[in-house]
Structures are given as structure tokens and as C-alpha cells.
Amino acid sequence: MAALETAIVQVTPFQQNCAIVWDGASRRGAVVDPGGDVARILAAIERRGVAVEKILLTHGHLDHAGGAEELRAALSQGRAEPVPIEGPDRRDKFLLDNIERQAAAFGLAGMGNAAPDRWLAEGDHAEIGGHRFAVLHCPGHTPGHIVLVNPDARFAIVGDVLFRGSIGRTDFPYGDHAQLLRAIAEKLLPLGDDVAFVCGHGPASTIGEERRTNPFLQGGA
């Protein structure tokens, strides 16, 4: 099987990293966290010749999921079955159900609520272009946040759990700082220092780099 390839499209005023991930040989793939700016995402898909088979969501925040239904509608034109949306964990349903309200509060137009066809839970697997990704439940930023890991490629999609030099915000009513640190320590760090990851904002990194240098992970995390 060919290697996985990834392209990042920054979307929304929050500069969220929407990821297009595909198999290099078949060009089959998925879009992860289409928060908005759907025309820009569609243009990136077309430039790379990717056949998108699904949309994946790491969590329910508007900048990650606000464009999911619009993208689904655009990609499903002419297909016998609509492109499915998978993820996050069901515990983020309350966020997906309120994206339009959240967007209005920020003065943002064009974002819609999202209704996944399949919720993803700890222990599940999701396929991207024939590559199998393990699903890890990593709450703290949101209750239903998931991380997708492909052990063979030594690659992970971590959403807003871990960033280069930082971690996800937990200053929401449903956030939990201790829970987030525990998820990183118990589920992400054991993946191995050589695992590279793309995150929801900012540049990519590796588990090892964050273990060594991330100030939030020092002191026994």
C-alpha cells in the first residue's frame, strides 16, 4: 500500500487546519475537520485529484465542524449515496447541535449544525483510503474529542488536544484541564516519540518533540 499523503487547508477566522488525507496510489481519502470556507477545501481536493470517501470530525467545535454538512452536500452531487460523516464521540453531540447558534454569536455566516452518520468511540477504527486508523477518546478540550492514529504510518490526527508547544484550551464550562493532561499522558505519549501529528491549529510536530519541549508536559506528564 502506498504512503499516506496530507494537505492542510487553513479555514475560518480561527485559522483551523482542515486536513485532506489520502492514499498516494489510489488517491482515495477523507477530509478531516472542515470547519468552513468550503469552496477553498473543494479547490484543494480538486487540485490534488483526491476521491473523498468520507468526512471525519475530531470534535464538535464550530471551527472544526461548521462546514461539514455543506461539504457533504457538495461532494455528494451525482453520487448514489451521500458522503458519510464520521466522528466525533457522541459526547460532543450538544456542540454539533449548536454550531449555528455559536456562529451567530461570533458574527460568522455559513456555518451549520452537523449530524454524523457514525459516532466514533474508543476502540473503534476509521479507514482513510484503505488505511486503518485507531480511535482514541481524548477528552478535556471537549467531552467527546477523539484522536485518529495510524500505527503503520507513525501518524496521528490530534485535533485540539495537543499542539506544537501547547495544548488545547480547557476554559470552557465543559473543559477539564486535568482530564486533558491525563489523556495526553496516557494515550498520546505512549504512541512513541517518532509519531508525527497534525493538529487543529498551527504547525505539525512529533510526540517526541512535545515530550521534550512542550512546557505543559513537563514535570511528570
Q: What is the pLDDT of residue 201?
A: 98
The model carries a pTM of 0.97
Distance CA 64, CA 115 (A): 13
> pLDDT at residue 212 above 90?
yes
The structural domains of the chain, with segments of one domain joined by +, span 4-217
Using one digit for the tens of pLDDT, what is the confidence trace for 186-200?
Answer: 999 999 999 999 999
> pLDDT at residue 139 above 60?
yes
CATH code of the domain made up of 4-217: 3.60.15.10
Using one digit for the tens of pLDDT, what is the confidence trace for 163-180?
Answer: 999 999 999 999 999 999
Q: Which residue has the cell 455559536?
A: 102
Q: What is the pLDDT of residue 1?
A: 54
Q: What is the pLDDT of residue 2?
A: 72
Q: In the sheet where 16-23 sits, what is the strand order?
A: 4-11, 16-23, 28-32, 51-56, 85-86
> pLDDT at residue 153 above 60?
yes
Using one digit for the tens of pLDDT, what is the confidence trace for 10-33?
Answer: 999 999 999 999 999 999 999 999
The model's confidence at residue 221, banded by pLDDT at 50, 70 and 90, is very low
Distance CA 144, CA 89 (A): 4
